[in-house]
A = this chain, B = another copy of it.
């Protein structure tokens, strides 16, 4: 299955598309949507929405996944991020994609095998899981790929369990 992962942010939104059977993952595309720092939020949301839609149209994922929004550190930042997340979820829903939502703990556990893994460990594991020669430089794109890997893995397990139950 082809999965789009999105790492939402008002300034930089990472995206990553993988092709995966739940165990073997291949990189399709990855990048960062950088919005104009001085632009009002409405314009930024427009930029983010346009880019996500164009990635979906180009790479044709059948599923997408986003991180759950949490507010342990800064409520104002979390509220801004929720605006972006709403716009991302709208684009995903409009495209008719299956949507997965995962906590940072679930994503790290799925990718590194350890829920409190550091950024660097996620980067190393994403490189390894996608058989890349070089690590993904952008932290946002790497986090987006981690979300995609998490969803592909969870989906495969869910399908297997449904097979057992059937």
Residues of A that sit less than 8 Å from B by CB? 40-43, 45-46, 49, 69, 71, 75, 78-80, 82-87, 89-90, 92-94, 99
The distance in angstroms between the C-alpha atoms of A5 and B76, with both chains bound, is: 23
Docked-complex contact A86 and B93, CB < 8 angstroms: no
Known: A75-B75, A99-B40. A82 touches B93 (CB 8 A): no
Nearest residue, chain B, Cβ from A97: B42
Known: A40-B99, A94-B46, A99-B42. A79 touches B89 (CB 8 A): no
Chain B nearest CB, measured from A89 CB (Å): 5
The distance in angstroms between the C-alpha atoms of A49 and B122, with both chains bound, is: 35
**A42: contacting residue among B46, B79, B80, B93, CB under 8 A:** B93
